[in-house]
Structure 1
Amino acid sequence: MPVFQLLSSPQTYRPCPQNMLVDGEFREHWLTTFAEHFSLIVELAAETYGPPGREAATRAREAFIAQLAALRQKPDMLGALDLEVLGILREQALRSHGIPDAFAKMKARENAAMVPLFSQVACELDGHSDFSQALLLAVEGAFAGNIFDMGATATAGMFTDKSPDFFKVRADVGGKRPWLVDDFDAFTRRMTANPPHQKAMIFVDNAGSDIVLGIAPLARLLARRGTRVCLLANSLPSLNDITFQELGPLLRSLGEQDVEFKRLLSTRRIYAAASGGGTPLIDLRHVSDWCNYEARDADLVIFQGMGRGLESNFDAAFTVDAVNMCMIKERIIAERHHGKVFDVVLRFRPPSAAAARP
């Protein structure tokens, strides 16, 4: 798999800044969290695959916890240890025991619950004649949608049997600036400048409210202003992250809710691609050929979600404009950024003169 061509310094790029080989507190937090969280995966595997799924996921859990115990004793046994490594180990344990997508039923349920609300969010954005105000509402919506995160401690137990109240969460976020990291003013200045970006690549995160009411309306807003938008989803399932296989049909269902979105899809102003990822984070040293092909003419890259945008790639440098945005739902991540759980982050950085494309 190729290195993402928009990285300005691939030789020095590291997806995850926290090295668990030297950061014992971070390592212990995540080894414990991953072990405890697997109980939820077992329950959702039973929901998706029935009693055989519960049995297989229980065996996967036992194998995974044994791996975590070995890592406690010898953290360097794999050569490297960070959140991406732990995510890979978890998915390998599940797939090797015949559980490719424990969250499949939950994702389908949440997508179906959120799709009817899409046109309302789109109409709200259309009601703003000032693009900067529409952009602010869209970004607040992206924060609010991102609360549907079944891999984070603060939210994993909140939505096992109910959907997020998107409009309430967005209202709670609204009017609370400055955010923990708040580059919105600089982002707005670039987004309102002419010409608009030629093409945006958005690395999307979760199913349900995150993609349907958060990212899809943002993509629609950008596309209406003249930017082509490529939505990049995981190639393989991981937690409640939307996959490329799920994203295409979901986008078409949104087109049935909103004639403008349908037009943008039919003219390929908005379209989906596979990132090559298979965990909640993304290591840009290993993306799909398709992802790298799409990057050839992109001049904006957006990382949505805590995994892709904060736990990895937060300090990565690119040859194009870059945005990281998410809601924080993990205590230790909030503390490391001098914030608290449910704080929100929008980081915008233009390319440096040295890194920018000719």
Structure 2
Amino acid sequence: MSSNEEIKDEKSYTESIELTQEAFKHLENASRIGIDIGGSLAKIAYSSSYEYKTALFSDTENNSNSIYSVNEIKKTIPTLNFIKFETKYIDSAVDYIKRNLSSLEEPERAKSIRATGGGSHKYKELLSQKLDLEVKKEDEMSCLIMGCNFLLRHVPNEVFTIDYDTLEYEFKPVQTGNIFPYLLVNIGSGVSILKVESDDNFQRVGGSTIGGATLWGLGSLLTDAKNFDEIIELAEKGDNRNVDMLVKDIYGGSYDLLGLNDDLIASSLGKTTRSSHESVSREEYLKKFKQEDLARSVLIMICYDISQIATLHARIHNIDRIYFGGYFIHNCRVNMKFLKHGISYWSQGKMECLFLRHEGYLGAIGAFLKISQELDHTKYSWFENYAHSSTQSISRKRNDSNPFDCFELNQEDHKLVTCPLLDHESYIPDLVDLTKDEEARSYWLSCFERTIETYEKQCIKSYLEDNDEQTLRRASDFKKSYLNKLNELKESPFAFGRLTVRSLLDLREHCMAEFQFFDVYSNEKRDENKHGLELLGNRLDYIENINDLNEKWKELFRGFLAGNVYDYGAQSFIEKQKMGHLEKFTQALNSIDDSFHTMENYTDLIDKLKFNQYKCICIFVDNSGFDLILGVLPFVIEILKNKETKIILCANSKAAINDVTYQELTLVIKKACLLSDVLNDAFYKTQNLILIENGSASPCLDLSRININLAKAINFHKVDLIILEGMGRAVHTNFDAKFKCDSLKSAVIKNKWLAEKFKQLTNLKDNETKFEFLKEDKFPVLFKFEKFFP
């Protein structure tokens, strides 16, 4: 490439950073800034905020034709933003920050920048002069640890290991209350090994002079590679067995007495030794060996050396979790592969070799936290905003088409904690890992692609009164943004961690929110709630007139399941609704497979309910309208007839499809109290009916992240039965969840592909559920009652 081409390329690159808001989201509201400047990459972390629209529900006047009003309000959401780019563009990036950063005159704004990394001294004057702020340097190791602790606590799907054969990522759940102790092995030019026992108790316990610079140096001497990344590219293509001496090269096979396999490396570069009888020049001798093989041998040697030293330190300090970080492993699976193999070998499979999805940001996050310590981020919970996060990291290659990498965390409205009755040690929320199941991944990505126009139209419909060009453009932009993300996930399914149906649903909600579309089914939910309340009295009378208790409970659960048919996220429901097949609740009752009462443990559940053996039942409800009012409420009212039993109804904190929100639930319950004395007394007098928001904004449910107030209520009221309702909460997530109490998972399976795949995915017995989709026009159901045995 000529010098002119390089200048043109660099100009194009810097302009892409300078001119796009995609890189520096919400920069105009940025306050505290932390920066980590390395030799290759610069990372910036800052806090900010943005306004978003949401719905406010309130009671209407008695003479109103509507059961409640829905108004639009604006709320401010705090964010943490992170961006990473090549250090050579730090000058233009700082210029961009200077131009776009609002005045720092407000008293709550930071008056300084915290900087760490090897370049913090070199670029200190540039940062100070251009931003007119004091630059304070922070210790690199303490920043790394603070950043690591933050990611482990606040970012789900952050931790992964790698499969040795396929090089695919395998994400590991992290018990956020039990992240210590661990070793952090930071591989830069050399290696530093840090033992971390708590937020404040950590120390460097060792290291090695053999690190990234060693690979770079030896690679430069042995190959024609001009930089670190070219050495890695060579190593990826090489075969070290051509230059390494193996056990079989010495002993003719395995050395069984010592337990040494024949293909074990006995001596790195052992086959390249030169005899004194060789008269050729060094250059000529080197030509006998492929540069790719030499590079791979050196890489393996260094990875195995580091992994052995790390294992020995872990054994000394009785630690079984080892995290690796540093540019040495950045976006480089082959390096991770050999580190993983080394740890597994030296520890005999007893220690975990772990990596972090955002390991490149550790220093910047730590520097940011240094300037934000008074905010105490442990008081808050955060979620990753997929719409504002990159799906691909910066490539190590020169012709990189991805000029920056960024991700964003948004603050939750509540502190989120693990459900206290969850068996959290074995808990993985999602039924299907789409990163592993290629068939399922292809199906669900295509499914979400096919239905995107439905949501585009619904976004426009929800703004019917101001259906102008701006609304049409926003809806089109939402569709484009979501489809772009789906296409990127086809190429990089690991981008947001474990790819699941839940993450795809959440991504769609995030993309809608990005273009200011919120609760787009609020009007439909309100209409269906009104219709449901009009029918509730008749439904209650019908159930009350059933004299046989067993038949009454059967009808209650039949209605509980039938209500779950009304799911706007299910295409089969939408199609039936368009044909007028579900206008009446009786049609829904007749549309489900009613053999649920023959399933395992059904009789045990009914006996416990009939004889009032539960103190408190916690129900995670699903949809608004018929589902809640005609399905769930009759069941709730029957339970509340026994004044010794309490019920907690948990609803979403924020809207997702037609799922009922806490605000809607409260208003609907107040209206329903006018139709049922039992409900009225339980809600207003005895407080046996408790309504709590669950902390979720998703059609699915991660029980390791629920509203802390709900967790406290579960403990306080001694919940002994948990009911999960709907496909999102009981099938896509939590199907395999185990509890320290009885549990019921109930759902109507409205997706044909899932119904056919379900048995294979779950290894269910035939008497636990039915799988023939729409047999005799019937939806299959899940009705899974599990008893807890202390």
> Normalising by the residue count of structure 2, what TM-score does the alignment of the two structures yield?
0.43
What residue is the counterpart of 1:21 in the other structure? Answer: 435
Report how far residue 349 of structure 1 moved. 0.5
CA distance in 2 between counterparts of 1:48 and 1:161 reads 22
What residue is the counterpart of 1:36 in the other structure? Answer: 450
Residue 772 (structure 2) aligned to one of 330, 334, 340:
340
What residue is the counterpart of 1:356 in the other structure? Answer: none
CA distance in 2 between counterparts of 1:182 and 1:45 reads 43
CA distance in 2 between counterparts of 1:253 and 1:83 reads 34
Report how far residue 293 of structure 1 moved. 1.5
**What is the letter of the counterpart of residue 461 of structure 2?**
E
What residue is the counterpart of 1:314 in the other structure? Answer: 735
CA distance in 2 between counterparts of 1:332 and 1:316 reads 22
What residue is the counterpart of 2:309 in the other structure? Answer: none
What residue is the counterpart of 1:289 in the other structure? Answer: 708
Q: Residue by residue, what CA displacement relative to the aligned partner does 1:80-118 show, whole Å, maximum 9, x if unpaired? A: 111121121111111111011111111111111111111
More helix by share: 1
1:48-127, aligned counterparts within 5 Å?
Answer: 48-50=462-464, 51=467, 52-127=470-545
Pick 1 or 2: higher relative contact order, CA cutoff 8 A, min separation 6.
Answer: 1
**What is the letter of the counterpart of residue 336 of structure 1?**
K
Confirm or deny: 8 A CA contact 2:596 2:783 kept in the other structure.
no
**What is the letter of the counterpart of residue 420 of structure 2?**
Q
Report how far residue 312 of structure 1 moved. 1.1
CA distance in 1 between counterparts of 2:657 and 2:600 reads 28
Moved more, 203-212 or 261-270: 261-270
Residue 624 (structure 2) aligned to one of 176, 192, 207:
207
CA distance in 1 between counterparts of 2:480 and 2:623 reads 26
Report how far residue 124 of structure 1 moved. 1.9
CA distance in 2 between counterparts of 1:54 and 1:140 reads 42
1:105-254, aligned counterparts within 5 Å?
Answer: 105-159=523-577, 164-173=583-592, 176-178=594-596, 183-193=601-611, 195-226=612-643, 227-254=645-672
CA distance in 2 between counterparts of 1:289 and 1:133 reads 38
CA distance in 2 between counterparts of 1:95 and 1:288 reads 21
CA distance in 1 between counterparts of 2:578 and 2:473 reads 20
CA distance in 2 between counterparts of 1:205 and 1:222 reads 19
Aligned: 1:269 with 2:688? yes
Moved more, 201-210 or 54-63: 54-63
Q: Residue by residue, what CA displacement relative to the aligned partner does 1:97-153 show, whole Å, maximum 9, x if unpaired? A: 101111111111111111111111112222234433222111100111111111112
Confirm or deny: 8 A CA contact 2:525 2:625 kept in the other structure.
yes
CA distance in 1 between counterparts of 2:749 and 2:597 reads 11
Q: 1:154 aligns to what SS in structure 2? A: helix
Q: 1:257 aligns to what SS in structure 2? A: coil
Q: Residue by residue, what CA displacement relative to the aligned partner does 1:259-286 show, whole Å, maximum 9, x if unpaired? A: 3322222132223110111111100111
Moved more, 324-333 or 261-270: 261-270
What residue is the counterpart of 1:3 in the other structure? Answer: 418
Q: 1:315 aligns to what SS in structure 2? A: coil
Confirm or deny: 8 A CA contact 1:75 1:81 kept in the other structure.
yes
Structure 2 gap segments, 5+ residues each:
1-415, 760-770, 774-778
Confirm or deny: 8 A CA contact 1:236 1:278 kept in the other structure.
yes
What residue is the counterpart of 1:12 in the other structure? Answer: 426
Q: 1:337 aligns to what SS in structure 2? A: helix
What residue is the counterpart of 2:720 in the other structure? Answer: 299
What residue is the counterpart of 2:699 in the other structure? Answer: 280
CA distance in 2 between counterparts of 1:12 and 1:148 reads 32
Confirm or deny: 8 A CA contact 1:44 1:102 kept in the other structure.
yes
Larger radius of gyration: 2
More strand by share: 2
| Distance verdict in 2 for CA 1:178–1:261, change over 3 Å | closer
| Distance verdict in 2 for CA 1:178–1:300, change over 3 Å | closer
Confirm or deny: 8 A CA contact 1:150 1:157 kept in the other structure.
no
**What is the letter of the counterpart of residue 177 of structure 1?**
S
Confirm or deny: 8 A CA contact 1:47 1:105 kept in the other structure.
no
Q: 2:475 aligns to what SS in structure 1? A: helix
Report how far residue 75 of structure 1 moved. 0.9
Q: Residue by residue, what CA displacement relative to the aligned partner does 1:227-250 show, whole Å, maximum 9, x if unpaired? A: 211110001100010000111001
**What is the letter of the counterpart of residue 433 of structure 2?**
N
Q: 2:650 aligns to what SS in structure 1? A: strand
Q: 1:347 aligns to what SS in structure 2? A: strand
CA distance in 2 between counterparts of 1:237 and 1:97 reads 15
Q: 2:723 aligns to what SS in structure 1? A: strand
Q: 2:425 aligns to what SS in structure 1? A: coil
Report how far residue 299 of structure 1 moved. 0.8
What residue is the counterpart of 1:349 in the other structure? Answer: 786
CA distance in 2 between counterparts of 1:71 and 1:29 reads 13
| Distance verdict in 2 for CA 1:290–1:335, change over 3 Å | same
Structure 1 gap segments, 5+ residues each:
354-358
Q: CA RMSD in A?
A: 1.9
| Distance verdict in 2 for CA 1:214–1:178, change over 3 Å | closer
| Distance verdict in 2 for CA 1:178–1:205, change over 3 Å | closer
